[in-house]
Homo-oligomer: A and B are copies of this chain.
Amino acid sequence: MSTGYQVAVLGASGAVGREFVRLFEQRSFPVTRLKLLASARSAGTPVPWRGGSIEIEAVAPDSFSGCDFAFFSAGASRSREWAPVAREAGATVIDNSSAFRMDPDVPLVVPEVNGSVLTARDTLVSVPNCSAIILLMAVAPLRALGEIDRLIVSTYQSASGGGAAMMEDLLDQTRDSLEGRAPTPKTTPHPYAFNLFSHNTPIGPDGHNEEESKVMTEARKILGRPDLKVNVTCVRVPVLRAHTESVTVEFKDKAPSVEAIREAVSSFPGVRLVDEPQNNRFPMPFEASGQDDVLVGRVRKDPSHDSAICLMVSGDQLLKGAALTGVQIAEKLSELRKVVETAPRA
């Protein structure tokens, strides 16, 4: 039985990459050797690790030799390029990009929601889109209360979804705006300070942007519900690192009571109920940022539909929306493999 893992992070200079490294320490993920990889441009950058630091290396064909787990967050094209190399070298790839998410042979996993699809033999697992993860953490607890027919979602997405550069850009543009300078967006298609805009991914022929298409198709795969109806509008708001969503859930039959929903949410792992009408305190990015838990609240009956309810959810986009889910997948695989290793042989 292994006492630890050799681990690589591809995209170690990015916002999600840095969270992976921080989470290994915070969660005592048993790393025996850590390799931080990125493009040649970031090579040499030191990253804090266990009181010292590790320099980022340029990713190369031999980067993954000896690796047990490789965490990828460097975009879909890098994932397509390097995942076969890492798997060939014997690593299990946990991929935070969209490259393999809809591949029927690749599990797409939020451990609390559909962790049961993982097996000890999986060597490539996709982390879902951040907006899909945060939505499903709010919706999953409701499955026990009735069959869900339709989701209607409007998102309030943060800059972190566009990476560390977009977070910096939001701060820069806001500083410019406060000082009366014209906005000069570096990463956004439109001014971002004190503004919002429809999500900056290309629009398909059906009128949906890529982010919306991901949420719709990934939600169906993760919930194992190809018939699930999903309507989602993705919007970028000037917030740094937590996504918020306004969600209407229509049930096939009678909607559960608000009290039953609050109880189901409260007892679901990874979710925290924040639902204080008397204080007007509900999920918001200021409280969700930096938290592992996704915040769910503003639970109420939909006044326009007998079988529907409304709620709000807010979750850290870099943590539960990306890096935390990735590390949790590795932890789950690690457990499954230990069971296999320690099982008595026939």
A148 CB to nearest B CB, Å:
12
How long is the Cα–Cα vector from A292 to B302 in the complex, in angstroms? 33
A207 at the binding interface (Cβ < 8 Å): yes
Please give, as numbers and ranges, the residues of chain B lying within 8 Å of A233 by CB-CB distance.
Answer: 154, 246, 298, 310, 312
Please give, as numbers and ranges, the residues of chain B lying within 8 Å of A286 by CB-CB distance.
Answer: 190-191, 194-195, 197
Best-surrounded residue of A189, A201, A258, A302 (most CB of chain B within 10 A): A302
B235 touches A238 (CB 8 A): no
A210 CB to nearest B CB, Å:
11
A177 CB to nearest B CB, Å:
9
Interface residues of A in 236-260 (CB under 8 A from B): 237-240, 244, 246, 248, 258
**For residue A209, which residue of chain B has the nearest CB?**
B280
The 0/1 profile, CB within 8 Å of B marked 1, for residues 293-319 of chain A is 000001111111100101010000000
B195 touches A229 (CB 8 A): no
A281 at the binding interface (Cβ < 8 Å): yes
Please give, as numbers and ranges, the residues of chain B lying within 8 Å of A230 by CB-CB distance.
Answer: 303-304
Please give, as numbers and ranges, the residues of chain B lying within 8 Å of A301 by CB-CB distance.
Answer: 206-207
Please give, as numbers and ranges, the residues of chain B lying within 8 Å of A128 by CB-CB distance.
Answer: none
Best-surrounded residue of A175, A201, A203, A304 (most CB of chain B within 10 A): A304
**For residue A239, which residue of chain B has the nearest CB?**
B194
Interface residues of A in 158-185 (CB under 8 A from B): 170-171, 174-175, 178
How long is the Cα–Cα vector from A211 to B248 in the complex, in angstroms? 18
A277 touches B246 (CB 8 A): no
A277 touches B207 (CB 8 A): yes
B151 touches A229 (CB 8 A): no
How long is the Cα–Cα vector from A2 to B195 in the complex, in angstroms? 44
27 contacts between A and B (CB under 8 A): A151-B304, A152-B152, A152-B304, A156-B156, A156-B196, A174-B174, A189-B279, A190-B281, A190-B286, A191-B286, A194-B238, A194-B239, A194-B285, A194-B286, A195-B284, A196-B244, A198-B282, A198-B284, A202-B280, A207-B258, A207-B298, A207-B300, A208-B303, A209-B280, A231-B310, A233-B310, A238-B238
Not counting A203-B277, A233-B298, A233-B310, a sample of 16 additional A-B residue pairs whose C-beta atoms are within 8 angstroms of each other reads A150-B305, A171-B178, A174-B178, A178-B178, A191-B286, A194-B285, A194-B286, A195-B284, A202-B280, A207-B300, A207-B301, A207-B310, A229-B305, A231-B310, A233-B312, A235-B312
4 closest Cβ pairs, A-B complex:
A207-B300, A154-B154, A229-B304, A203-B277
